[in-house]
Every structure is written in C-alpha cells, then in structure tokens.
Amino acid sequence: MALKTKPLAQGGGTLRRNLGLWAIVGLGLGYMTPTVVFDTFGMVARDTNNVVPAAYLVALVVMVFTAISYGKIAGAIPSAGSAYTYVRESIHPNLGFMVGWTSLIDYVLLPMVNCLIIKSYLEAMFPDIPAWIWVVLYCILVTSIIYMTMRGTSNLNVILLIFSIIVMVVFVVLVVAQLMRGDGAATILSVGAFLHDDVTFTAVLTGATIVCFSFIGFDAVTMYAEEAKDPKVMPKAILLTVLIGGGIFLVSSYVSQLRFPDWNEFAPGGDMQFVEDSTLPIIGDLVGGNVFMAVLTAAGFCATLASGLASHASVSRMLLVMGRNNVLPQKAFGYINPRTHTPTFNIVLVGAISLLAIPFTLELIAAWINYGALIAFTFVNISVIAWFAIRKGRRKTPADIFNFIVMPTIGMLLTGLLWVNLHQDALIGGLTWTAIGFVYLLVITRGFRRKVAAFDENQAVTGFNKVVKVPVDES
C-alpha cells in the first residue's frame, strides 16, 4: 500500500521539504518588512516623547519570550499552522476557533495597511494627485494579480529583503556621517535615545504596543513547518527571525532618533497627517534629498508591494478553507474559478475591503491589527503551559517548571501588558469583532453541541495548498 497526496483544493500541489534554516529566516524577515520602522517612526516618536528605540527594545523583549513559546509548541505540534492551531490542539477547538477568528482581523486588515503605506509613498512623490486615486489603483493592481495567480512571493520577498537591507545600511552610514558633522543630536552615542527626563514608562509601553505591528510576520515562519528540510530547525528559525528583525529595527530607530531628536520635524505647520501616515518619504528627503528619498521609497515600495501580494493571497486562501469547511457560506467563500483556479470571490472581497483604506490612517489600522496579534501571542504562551505542563505532565522538575510554566507565564504577562495599552478605538473595535465571533461560534456549533470545523489547513504562504495523505491500494 502506498501513500497518495490529495490536494485540499483545486489546483493544489504537494508540500516539499526543501527549505533550510536561513531560507526560512529570510522568508520571516521578508514578511516583517524591515523598512516599516521608517513608516511608523513619526507616530511612535510622538507617543513616546522621542524614545523610539526604547519602544522597540521593550517590544523585542516581549517578542523574544513569545518566540521561545512559539518554538516550543511548533516543535511539539509540527504541522504547519499558527496560534489557533496550537490553541485548538492544546486546549480546545472552540477556543482555537475564537483565537483564529480574532486573528482573522489581522489577515483581513494587513492588505489595507500595505495599501495605506503605498498611498503615503505615492502621495509624497506626487502631492498634486488626490490620495484616493492611489488607493483605487493599488487595489485594482494587487487584486488583478492575485485573481489570475496565487503563486507565492517567497523568492521575490528574499530579493526585496536583500535590496531593502542594503538601502537601510546606506541610510545608517549617511546618518552616522551627518551626526559626526553636527546634525541632529551631534553624537553617535547617547542614552537620550532610550531615556531622558521627560519620558514615562507608560509612554514607552504605548510606543511598544504600536511597534508590535513591526514584528508581525515572525510567527509566519510556523507556516513553513511542513516544508523545512528538518522540522527541528523551526524553534531556532523563529527565534533568529525575531532577534535579527529586532536588531534591524533597533539600529535603524536608534540612528533615526539621534538624527531627528524632535518628532515635530515631521509635522510642518502642525499637520498631524504627516505623523499619522508613513514618515518614510520625509525621512529619506531630510537625510539625502530627493535622490535618496526616491531610493528609500523604492525600497519601501517594493517590500510593501511584495508583502501586500502575500497577505492578500493568504487571507483569500484562508477564507477559501473557511468556506470549504462550512465555517463561512460554502457557495461563495468555497468557490474556485475553474479557469484561473483561484478563489475569485474571496480575492475581490479582500480587494474591496482594502478600498476602505481611503478614510483611515495607518496608526488606527495598525492598532486594530495589533489587537489580534497580541491576543494570538498571549494564547501561544498559554498553549505551552496547557500542552507541556498540563497535558504532558511536565511540571515535576525545576527545569520543566521553568521552561513550561515560568517562561511562558512571563511571556503571557508581558504580552498582556502591551494589550491593555492598546489604542482605545482598537480595543473597542477588537472586542466587538471578538463578540461577533463568539455569537457566530454559538450558531455554527448549535450552542456548542456540534464540533467546530478548523480553518487553518491551507495557508497560502508559499503558494502551495496543504495536502492530506490518504492510503491508496496499488495492488
């Protein structure tokens, strides 16, 4: 008897174990989009009173604890998945559904964030053209590409990642040279970028809550568990992605803070729109003039576009699986176009949702996304306790207590600390979305009398469909 792979959706293929450690790390960093540190720099500098690196440092500490928990649970449950997979398997399917439903807000809104960033870039370069035109054109472009093909952007992400990092290295060199000649803080060594008399811990926490958005994507590497050459590298890949990404954010924000010690430089005439939207073009212009602004914007544009394509494809495929499993109406969400072999209804729906970016700011959408992300991160830490300490009984030795109770508890508390410091509008919107999900769960389970279907078997991260293996008798 042999094993035959059976695609879960039309046009699917098998997952091959061909990704090494650094390939997975590169994909994770590509999802994090390193240039986003410049996009949010203005708003974080304003909210932290000019200590952006301190906010990144706090966020990095929180993410390291969470990354360690991701690594532990990914090693124990090696199937490709994410927070809701781990919660479903370690605690309960209904709770897993709720974490997944809450995370859905991330998937749905992330394409909108990419749209807002691209709009800010083009608006800075072509100020005479109405901003809404760029939103419409971007949505049409990305929706059309994904409509025709849902091939992954893994290779493109790696290429754009290298390009972005090279440009960021050039940025650091330029800024260091300017600091040494007396610009900005006129020094390359200063604790003022992390702490000064007018800074409060609450303000730093608020900033850390915002920059959590920069780290979103490190957990995406868990989706590659079934494509890793050796599944044992996953914990290391997750932690390396966080540490390298955090290092890039720290260095970039540190030199930027020294170069721009007062956030008001990004708000000419008191116009807050320049702070609430992407400040990357302004930073590029102030550091290197029009030429470097174009180069830095190009790096951000390419990386954001690649991320936009990947996120649009991912949420469309996720909605497809929810439709296939009757979590959402199957006729619409489970439909695959027989000509393009893509879930066209879902793709157009995500594109239409992205059009809502026209009246919103990057700050508000990022806050909503952080709500879902922080919920997911919190429950990953809880899952480690539930799986190892409770289900597996690993709580009898000091080492087990430290690894499977103390460490994830610290991660859970630190993540919760950021969660309660979220923007008020994000809390209201997020809690409303969660309440809708709970009511919907009651309906589809008929008051918890029926088992809830999963919806994480088919994440479009690399462009493949996950497969199940069924025995086929070839005798």
pLDDT at 345: 92
pLDDT mean over 113-124:
87
Least trusted range by pLDDT, from 34-48, 217-231, 406-420:
217-231
Rounded distance between C-alpha atoms, residue 287 and residue 274, angstroms: 16
pLDDT at 17: 59
3-state secondary structure of 431: helix
Residue that wins the pLDDT comparison between 293 and 21 = 293
pLDDT at 244: 93
**Dihedral angle over CA of 263, 266, 269, 274, nearest 10:** -120
* Token pair listed for 192: 């003022």
Distance of alpha carbon 220 from the chain centroid? 8
Whether residue 9 has pLDDT greater than 50: no
Whether residue 270 has pLDDT greater than 70: no
Least trusted range by pLDDT, from 19-28, 124-133, 215-224, 250-259:
215-224
pLDDT at 358: 83
pLDDT tens digits, residue range 187-213?
Answer: 999 999 999 988 899 999 999 998 987
Q: How many CA atoms lie less than 13 Å away from 110 in the CB half-sphere?
A: 31
User: Is the CB of residue 206 less than 8 Å from the CB of residue 59?
Assistant: no
Whether residue 407 has pLDDT greater than 60: yes
**Amino acid (1-letter code) at residue 425:** D
- Look at the alpha carbons of 208, 209, 210, 214 in this order and tell me if their dihedral is positive or negative: positive
pLDDT at 10: 38
Rounded distance between C-alpha atoms, residue 54 and residue 43, angstroms: 14
pLDDT at 155: 59
Whether residue 173 has pLDDT greater than 50: yes
pLDDT tens digits, residue range 38-90?
Answer: 999 998 999 999 999 999 999 999 999 999 999 899 888 866 567 888 898 89
pLDDT tier for residue 14 given thresholds of 50, 70 and 90: very low
pLDDT at 26: 79
pLDDT tens digits, residue range 334-392?
Answer: 888 888 778 889 999 999 999 988 888 887 888 888 898 889 899 999 999 999 999 99
Q: Label residue 294 exposed, middle or buried (CB < 10 Å: 0-12, 13-18, 19+).
A: middle
Q: Which residue has the tokens 């174990």?
A: 17
Write the DSSP symbol of residue 99.
H
Residue that wins the pLDDT comparison between 135 and 223 = 135
Rounded distance between C-alpha atoms, residue 140 and residue 381, angstroms: 39
Whether residue 11 has pLDDT greater than 80: no
pLDDT tier for residue 12 given thresholds of 50, 70 and 90: very low
